Structure 1
């Protein structure tokens, strides 16, 4: 399939590489063109402008936030009006997803993903997709190339974004809970690894506890696998959705404050799991 891929950060580069490995004809664009070098060496074409990557059947975008996606769609050289079906993998707000769906002349699919960069490299992402059934059918081979399973959420694209924001909130709530439990155990003389082994070996064996539990035990907060400012952005988008829908989310406020705190103390290249550092400092643990 002739496709375009826009946005070559850690996640996007890995996803585009897997599309190439699956035999698709891939044209890439990134604001910093140097990030495309390895993909071009692997057989990708380099577009001069975003719209040049949207001349095939599908154009996939994986960008940091609403502003970056709006620039690629509506800015100079943007993909608005291009012939390709737009598939957005970005974690964006509900309002922007609705706007993109309303403006898309050739179809729009929201397909955010769950999984960190390691999962993206291994083509083990979970794809959360929503859009017209025919458009989702067209995308199935592409989703299969980047992920291990696709969940269809319905025909309203923004529903996929709501699921993604809900899931990211639950990840951060789980990290917060583990950080608090580990801090309690540590202050009482129980090793963090011992606590994690007990919890993941009994009641909390899910991948999210295992993956992030290891990060917390080993203090692997730098460099970021998923940068805290992106986590703060996602929690803000979740809060906006909660405000719009009048859904109280008190834990969200705690998590967001801890993300702010760790960014202030550690800088922007700290993993969002670094909220554990804010919890520890609050308990007097250096």
Structure 2
């Protein structure tokens, strides 16, 4: 690479070559330790660095040299080239704007007009100087240029400060981490009661004459209640969100089901007016509040339950389930844990898998409801078995999802289309409906379509790890997956779909 022009100015875009590496998109910087016959440059890329290179190894970043030097196929080179182009475009836009301002000022005040070219050069130098000023104090001891590249230019310690303060179009967000802002909070899920799925319509369900209560109207709860109402069950509902419960009643009444849905302001009122109550809350703490809270199902006039049933559908651990069971049974009630497996779509159409354990007579009494909710319901035995099976299945799903997300991130870093990877994935035995669905969410970045939130998935993995502690069973992969979900929650993705862990792995 022969240098035909050595008088580059601060801020100029150039091609710079280091020994044993291809020519790389770079930018001329000003240095307080400028070496004779060498240029001090900043190399673009996800592994950005600084270094001195001989003037003979620097040429302008123009179309002539680009045609000869931009043929490198390395993924990190492509990233660097894209960032350099974005920088060039931002500089051109800035220069055009300043030229227009200078021309408009020229007519008003000749003394301040100056040459647009001079103004641009001055502004350009000033902006670059300000961009590098923060690193001048810390960048006096720098890695030698000859050993500063491994698999592409590396980012030196001083580059972190410089990139944060780079006001020339490329901030640390796009240049260093390329991390987007935290996604908007997902909207509260709503359900259209006017539509009934073909699966529900095809089911021959004779609704029970018992009155059923339902506590919790979240992503799954609303859809389960909808199917109960559409199959003719009488449902008393409660939710912490008054708008949700009122909306469901209004929609049910509009469908001609007047009197089939009643709204109550506390769990104890729902229990008082129901024969069997389902609870479908966020986590174990919420599940216990529904029972033991000031307005829980065993409070007020519910000291004696007289054979009433309580069905816990919240994803909880076996210990919490046993505590709730003891409380319900101590007051003469019946208890059944009914853990649900399936997605939001499966809840919508009524094709969930329901795992139950506890009082078998209560399992029998709930059959018409379980048929409305899912495609099958299984009775596993004593209290605790259903929750353990649920957590084991959730653990498998959570670990598999981490593998999917990290695989798609690696494909992206290799310059391979994630869509192509998923198309090939779907042809193999690895494919399954769950991972297919999550892969599509990742490709479309449709993380606001929540089937199970990151917060909820991490809760289940944490409970599974607690179960492993009880049996002294090491779970290395589960522990690693738990940290991935925790980190994603720290980034602000709590309420997004669990496929959003891709964002943590990618950025």
TM-score (norm 2): 0.53
Partner in structure 2 of residue 189 of structure 1: 415
Is 1:33–2:239 an aligned residue pair?
Answer: no
- Aligned-partner SS, 1:104: helix
Runs of 4+ with deviation above 6 angstroms: none
Unaligned runs of 5+ in 1: 282-286
Is 1:19–2:237 an aligned residue pair?
Answer: no
Cα distance in 1 for residues equivalent to 2:245 and 2:491:
33
Map 1:82-121 → 2, pairs under 5 A: 82-83=305-306, 84-105=308-329, 106-121=333-348
Is 1:170–2:396 an aligned residue pair?
Answer: yes
Cα distance in 2 for residues equivalent to 1:268 and 1:210:
22
- Whether the 8 Å contact between 2:311 and 2:336 is mirrored in structure 1 is yes
Q: Larger RCO: Structure 1 or Structure 2 (Cα < 8 Å, ≥ 6 residues apart)? A: 1
- Whether the 8 Å contact between 2:343 and 2:451 is mirrored in structure 1 is yes
Q: 1:157 Cα deviation (Å)?
A: 2.3
Partner in structure 2 of residue 226 of structure 1: 452
Is 1:79–2:297 an aligned residue pair?
Answer: yes
Q: 1:56 Cα deviation (Å)?
A: 2.4
Cα distance in 1 for residues equivalent to 2:376 and 2:247:
27
Cα distance in 2 for residues equivalent to 1:62 and 1:183:
34
- Aligned-partner SS, 1:225: coil
Is 1:251–2:488 an aligned residue pair?
Answer: no
Is 1:133–2:360 an aligned residue pair?
Answer: yes
Is 1:159–2:385 an aligned residue pair?
Answer: yes
- Whether the 8 Å contact between 2:354 and 2:374 is mirrored in structure 1 is yes
Cα distance in 1 for residues equivalent to 2:363 and 2:396:
26
- Whether the 8 Å contact between 2:266 and 2:295 is mirrored in structure 1 is yes
- Whether the 8 Å contact between 1:97 and 1:158 is mirrored in structure 2 is yes
String of CA shifts for 1:206-227, please: whole Å, max 9, x gaps: 2112111211222222353322
String of CA shifts for 1:112-171, please: whole Å, max 9, x gaps: 1112222212112111111232221111111111111212222x2211111111111111
Q: 1:60 Cα deviation (Å)?
A: 0.3
Structure 1 vs Structure 2 CA RMSD: 1.6
Pick one of 254, 258, 279 that aligns with 1:61. Answer: 279
Cα distance in 2 for residues equivalent to 1:121 and 1:69:
23
Is 1:264–2:490 an aligned residue pair?
Answer: yes
Cα distance in 1 for residues equivalent to 2:383 and 2:372:
21
- Whether the 8 Å contact between 2:236 and 2:261 is mirrored in structure 1 is yes
Partner in structure 2 of residue 215 of structure 1: 441
- Whether the 8 Å contact between 2:493 and 2:500 is mirrored in structure 1 is no
String of CA shifts for 1:39-91, please: whole Å, max 9, x gaps: 21204101132122123221000000111111110112211243420001100
Q: 1:103 Cα deviation (Å)?
A: 2.3
TM-score (norm 1): 0.92
- Whether the 8 Å contact between 2:370 and 2:377 is mirrored in structure 1 is yes
Unaligned runs of 5+ in 2: 1-209, 253-259
Cα distance in 1 for residues equivalent to 2:295 and 2:322:
22
* Bigger CA radius of gyration: 2
Partner in structure 2 of residue 8 of structure 1: 217
